[in-house]
Amino acid sequence: MGNLPFHHDSHETTSAPITKSLDPEELRKYGHMVVDFIADYYQNIEKYPVLSRVQPGYLRKCLPDSAPYDPEPISTILKDVQDHIVPGLTHWQSPNFFAYFSSTASTAGFLGEMLTTGLNVVGFNWVSSPAATELENIVMDWLADMLQLPKSFHFSGNGGGVLHGSTCEAIVCTMAAARDQMLRRIGSENLGNLVVYGSDQTHSTLQKASQILGINMENFRAIKTTKSTEFALSPEMLRLTISSDLEEGLVPLFVCATIGTTATTAIDPLEALCHVAKEYGVWVHVDGAYAGSACICPEFRHFIDGVEGANSFTFNPHKWLFTGMDCCCLWVKNPSALVLSLSTNPEFLRNTASNSKQVVDYKDWQIALSRRFRALRVWLVLRSYGVANLRNFIRSHVKMAKTFEGLVRMDKRFEIVVPRDFSLVCFRISPSALISRDEDGEIGMINEVNCKLLDAINASGKAYMTHAVVGGIFLLRCAIGATLTEEKHIVQAWKVVQDHAQAILNMH
């Protein structure tokens, strides 16, 4: 790594520490240095193993036991970033990163976050920085438009949107709204009787949010899904489960429908689920964390058909809309339910604008009081790329996933485990690849073989993928979505898979 541009220049460009806590000219000078550091990082990103190879505890050995008493130069610190931090990174922005779902960085997202950090205002209520609140109102309406969300989720339709950091935070807030709305009706002593519904494919965030909110974990339902329905939550099963809970004297509260599950991007049938939920007065939250972004393309929009029946909707632009971490969009039809659960009105925050009720005070739409000027980043992304290019970026990922899928299908040793809808390809070495080699081969061993394959791919440093287990099947997930990924990386990644598969099959 001695050839990274930063290292050449470091000793020339600075040797003294920063002298002031905040000074425009120092910020300019060192800001340019860090921009160059980051640009160089991206130039060199393919040189690093995607999955970090460090061992637990590696960093304590590199760094002193306590903070320095005297200031240190930025050049020294950046050298340590290069020498000690970069090797400990798993490179999410590598074009060879296919794990989890991507966290899509972009030039515009980076610039937007620089502005947020540079202005460093706090937008807990309108008056504390009106632009922070108003721009958020505006971009949330823009995004709602792009997704063709019904008017009832727009501010102009008496709904509204807010930027959170994560889905879990958003679900805590919406479920608190649902819980308190219900308990106001039936009495708070019934908290222990409330029931929350998802499927066995719903993100673990639903369970975590339920735990935090004091839902009795015996009343948390992870309804079983099956391969025959592509791991989607069945409306009939939901109805049966609700009926059975009602018979037990429990109170159905909240159901989370997922558009694009984490394991396999399964699509819960939104319209039918909302229909069932409505019958029983159950709050419907739609989690479109990953696939929501795709719905800005007309050809994918149908996946959220029925969203007009939901009470709240989230998706994460940090996953697939090029904002970088962390950004979760939440819309609700009934903001006053949120505000009733989350508002506090301490004296020190009272002001004329809030009293007038003409403004949004986002502190009452989230867990924290304080909040950054989150909307700037989203605004820069939307404007810098325009809807046209954002659609193009998403389509190019889907196209690359089709390429990868095609490569898998052409190789008889492999199989696609579930149909591909977006940019995630779920595949594995086929049981038949084992059986063909050994008539007595155990099919049960297939999971172990695929697990070995995954480890081998990731140990190569040339690609990083993760796994899922659905219906007892261990599968490899090739999640295409890193901003820098191009067709050639897909072809390379498939070559890595094939090479390691052959080595493993040779041993079995």
Binding to a copy of itself (CB under 8 A) within 337-356 occurs at 341-342, 344-348, 353, 356
Question: 426: which strand partners?
Answer: 477
- The reply to whether 118 sits near a copy of itself by the rule CB under 8 A is yes
Binding to a copy of itself (CB under 8 A) within 168-197 occurs at 168-169, 172, 176, 179-180, 188-189, 191-192
- The reply to whether 222 sits near a copy of itself by the rule CB under 8 A is no
Q: How far is the CB of 278 from a copy of itself (least distance, A)?
A: 26
- The reply to whether 98 sits near a copy of itself by the rule CB under 8 A is no
CA dihedral 333→334→335→341, nearest 10 degrees, is -130
Helix 205-212 with 167-186: angle, nearest 10 deg: 50
Binding to a copy of itself (CB under 8 A) within 256-295 occurs at 262-263
Binding to a copy of itself (CB under 8 A) within 77-96 occurs at 77, 81, 84-93
Residue corresponding to tokens 């999640």: 479
- The reply to whether 372 sits near a copy of itself by the rule CB under 8 A is yes
List the one residue from 297, 339, 369, 435 that touches a copy of itself (CB under 8 A).
369
Binding to a copy of itself (CB under 8 A) within 292-321 occurs at 318
Binding to a copy of itself (CB under 8 A) within 28-47 occurs at 28, 30-32, 34-43
- 209 versus 433: smaller Cβ distance to a copy of itself: 209
DSSP string, 286-304: EE-TTGGGGGGSTTTGGGG
246 close to 177: Cβ distance less than 8 angstroms = no
- 201 versus 430: smaller Cβ distance to a copy of itself: 201
484 close to 42: Cβ distance less than 8 angstroms = yes
List the one residue from 50, 74, 256, 449 that touches a copy of itself (CB under 8 A).
74
Where residue 461 falls (left for φ over 0; alpha for ψ -120 to 50; beta otherwise) is: left
289 close to 145: Cβ distance less than 8 angstroms = no
Q: SS3 of 285, please? A: strand
DSSP string, 376-392: HHHHHHHHHHHHHHHHH
- The reply to whether 110 sits near a copy of itself by the rule CB under 8 A is yes
Task: Tell how far CA 358 is from the center of its chain.
Answer: 33
- 76 versus 403: smaller Cβ distance to a copy of itself: 76
- 272 versus 364: smaller Cβ distance to a copy of itself: 364
- 143 versus 433: smaller Cβ distance to a copy of itself: 143
Binding to a copy of itself (CB under 8 A) within 422-481 occurs at 466-469, 477
- The reply to whether 121 sits near a copy of itself by the rule CB under 8 A is yes
List the one residue from 358, 410, 440, 472 that touches a copy of itself (CB under 8 A).
358
Query: How many residues make contact with a copy of itself (CB under 8 A)?
Result: 157
- Provide the token pair at 341: 């659960």
| Backbone dihedral angles phi then psi of residue 215, each to the nearest 5 degrees | -70, 135
Distance from C-alpha of 202 to C-alpha of 269, rounded to nearest angstrom: 13
Q: How far is the CB of 149 from a copy of itself (least distance, A)?
A: 13
Binding to a copy of itself (CB under 8 A) within 224-253 occurs at none
Distance from C-alpha of 465 to C-alpha of 370, rounded to nearest angstrom: 36
- Which residue, among 90, 85, 100, 77, has the nearest Cα to 10 in the 3D structure? 77
- The reply to whether 22 sits near a copy of itself by the rule CB under 8 A is yes
CA 348 → CA 124, 324, 355, distances in Å?
12, 34, 13
Binding to a copy of itself (CB under 8 A) within 130-149 occurs at 130-132, 134-135, 137-139, 141-143, 145-146
